[in-house]
Chain A
Amino acid sequence: MFQKIMELISLWILPVFIIFILTMGLCKKVPIYEVFTDGAKDGFKVAVNIIPYLVAIIVAISMLRASGVIEWIATAFSSVFAMFNVPADVTPIMIVRSLSGSAALGVFSDIANSLGPDNYATTLAAVMVGSSETTFYVLAVYFGAVGISKIRYALVVGLLADLIGIIAAVAVCNAMFA
């Protein structure tokens, strides 16, 4: 029920929002076409501006993934995680979900397809991937767009929040599904 409602809202919110903005613009006598194209001009500039920051972070993370170091960390900690009822298959997701969204989704698809729908690992992985946003990518895009290179505590906070999310996911799934 909740899901159906949410799906409906997700489908309707964009068209309703766009019509609302345009109508409101007309009511306030804003020349909407000119203002739209004027604002849209910046799209290219912003996208091009973030390229150097994206290249730095995406290349570094691609190299990290190719090097196999994530599997090392996952294996090293798997015995610790096992104490908390975390299946070994899920451990790479914990590390990768802060680094790369597509990789996290890839690992999750692998788990789901190989272990099947009745496995606890599939559920835990689903909650972990569904509740996360790729911290490194978000920071690179948003700071890159305004040309900020000194990020102060943004990454520390992002990663700590990710860690809390992982712990919460393990605790919640243990309580609900295990």
Chain B
Amino acid sequence: MNWIFYILILISVVAGVVNGRLEAVVNSILSGAELSVKVAFSLIGIMAFWLGMMKIAEKSGLIAFISRLIKPITKLLFSEIPEDSPAMGDIAMSLSANAFGLSNAATPIGIKAMEEMQEHNIDKKSASNAMCMFLAMNTAGFQLIPATVIAVLVGIGYKNPAVIIAPTLLVTSIAFVSAIILAKIFEKFWAKQKAEKENS
């Protein structure tokens, strides 16, 4: 992450100078910082709501039930996490919420899943294999209906916006499956996590 951060900013400044857009680059620091806080604060309410709901689901045994239900799949994908951990139920619910386009619910539930996974993590500063797998599935953005995109198409008078649903679903499925396979491959070859040692 150190290098990614450095390179992103270095390229921006250099390209800004070459393009004569240095002023825009400098201004974007302020607007970017402001946007980050806005994004975080806009999450507070909905985050509180879903964390509250999920706590009820947990106490009533619903999450444990879902965890048991999907055990055959999760055992394969998240081998590090104990089978009966509530993390499994959270992961399943977060991904389903994403699939239905409910990203407002998916993010808080996903964060709760990350917290559960962090408890089983041997090095709290670095990402466990299970976390990388979960985020790989997440970044592939599996979604059944691309609602915002369809709204834009409807807005410009696209004849039949529904025609993009099938190809989009196909593409996102390909990306989703590839992400899972890639995460499994990298898990084998990437340097293993070391237990609790400060690292960059």
Flag whether B73 is at the interface (Cβ < 8 A): no
Majority SS of interface residues in chain B? helix
What string of 1s and 0s marks CB contacts (under 8 Å) between B178-200 and chain A?
A: 11001100110011010000011
Flag whether A82 is at the interface (Cβ < 8 A): no
What string of 1s and 0s marks CB contacts (under 8 Å) between A101-124 and chain B?
A: 000010011001100110000110
Flag whether B77 is at the interface (Cβ < 8 A): no
Residue in B28, B56, B163, B178 whose CB lies within 8 Å of A164: B178
Q: Which residues of A contact B132 (CB under 8 A)?
A: 151-154, 157
Q: With both chains docked as a complex, state the minimum distance between the C-beta of B153 and any C-beta of chain A, in angstroms.
A: 6
Q: With both chains docked as a complex, state the minimum distance between the C-beta of A171 and any C-beta of chain B, in angstroms.
A: 9
Interface size on B, residues (CB 8 A): 111
Interface size on A, residues (CB 8 A): 97
Which residue numbers of B lie inside 8 Å of A, CB to CB?
A: 1, 4-5, 8-9, 11-16, 19, 21, 24-25, 27-29, 31-33, 35-37, 39-41, 43-49, 51-57, 59-62, 98, 100-102, 105, 107-108, 110-111, 114-115, 117-118, 123-127, 131-132, 134-136, 138-141, 143-150, 152-153, 155-159, 162-165, 167-172, 174-176, 178-179, 182-183, 186-187, 190-191, 193, 199-200
